[in-house]
């Protein structure tokens, strides 16, 4: 089993740094999990050319080497580089697929009624991308399983990797940065703050190592060193 951060993400505006408006291009942390004959890439948040470069730099891989892509949620800055992986299976949690899909279709209907062609086309592309995503199985590979973390989005889902000496959780935006982890805070734009707080607690209870949604791989501060 190999877990490797391919690209460290960032928030467009980090409220815990005092930023109130976007000051950078936000993108998700991208993680590679190699398990058996599967190369699973989680949250390709960078543009296509950049995610291709990071794969080569960090893992000596090309997009064709990626067998599966998993999205912790369907936010645009989590899936920006998804088009690079046309030959891969695309996965997302069934709850996120359903929770995002219905509102997208309703929004498209309203836009069509207003005859806003550009926005309608963008929504159609999002819907087509979501349809291409399959509902992920509970187990992505041996020792690699889904870990539901709803709240920030309706069906946000992390990935837990169980190894002999420790457990790693790829958190997505359920635990976005070191500052959020240290202060026990969830993102202010969570769809359901109370549910997001429960998911946050579950995340730090289960794992020894955390891959944060917009930050690096860190040791869980509430766990003993190993």
CATH number, domain 2-219: 3.60.15.10
Contact yes or no for 154/146 (Cβ under 8 A): no
Considering the chain, what percentage of its residues have pLDDT values greater than 70? 97
Summarize pLDDT for 120-129 with one digit per residue, the tens: 788 888 999 9
Q: Give me 161's structure tokens.
A: 């990797």
pLDDT (mean) for 184-192 = 95
Say what the pLDDT of residue 1 is: 85
Q: Give me 24's structure tokens.
A: 């950078």
Rounded to two decimals, the pTM is: 0.94
- For the chain, give percent helix, strand, coil, nearest 5: 35, 25, 40
Q: How far apart are the first and last CA of the chain?
A: 18
- Confidence band (pLDDT; 50, 70, 90) for 115? low
Query: Which residues does 143 contact at the CB level (< 8 Å), separation at least 6?
Result: 1, 35, 161, 162, 163
Summarize pLDDT for 124-156 with one digit per residue, the tens: 889 999 999 999 999 999 999 999 999 999 999
- Listed range (90-94, 121-125, 156-160) with the worst mean pLDDT: 121-125
Phi, psi of 219 (to 5 degrees): -75, 135
Of 163 and 70, more confident: 70
Using DSSP's 3-state secondary structure scheme, residue 211 falls into: strand
Measured between alpha carbons, how far is 150 from 96 in angstroms, rounded to an integer? 9
């Amino acid at each position: 089993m190999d877990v490797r951060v391919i690209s460290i993400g960032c928030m467009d505006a980090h409220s815990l740094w005092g930023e109130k408006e976007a000051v950078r291009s936000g993108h998700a942390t991208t993680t590679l999990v190699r398990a058996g004959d599967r190369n699973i890439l989680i949250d390709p948040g960078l543009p296509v050319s950049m995610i291709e470069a990071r794969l080569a730099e960090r893992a000596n891989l090309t997009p064709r080497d990626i067998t599966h892509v998993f999205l912790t949620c369907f936010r645009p800055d989590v899936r920006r580089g998804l088009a690079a992986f046309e030959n891969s299976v695309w996965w997302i949690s069934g709850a996120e697929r359903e929770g995002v899909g219905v509102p997208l279709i309703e929004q498209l209907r309203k836009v069509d009624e207003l005859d806003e062609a550009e926005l309608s086309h963008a929504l159609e592309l999002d819907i087509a991308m979501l349809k291409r995503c399959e509902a992920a199985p509970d187990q992505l590979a041996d020792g690699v399983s889904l870990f539901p973390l709803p709240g920030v989005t309706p069906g946000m889902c992390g990935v837990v990797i169980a190894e002999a000496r420790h457990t790693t959780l790829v958190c997505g935006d359920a635990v976005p940065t070191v500052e959020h982890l240290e202060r026990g805070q969830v993102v202010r734009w969570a769809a359901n703050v109370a549910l997001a707080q429960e998911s946050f607690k579950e995340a730090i209870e289960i794992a020894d190592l955390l891959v944060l949604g917009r930050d690096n791989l860190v040791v869980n501060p509430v766990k003993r060193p190993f």
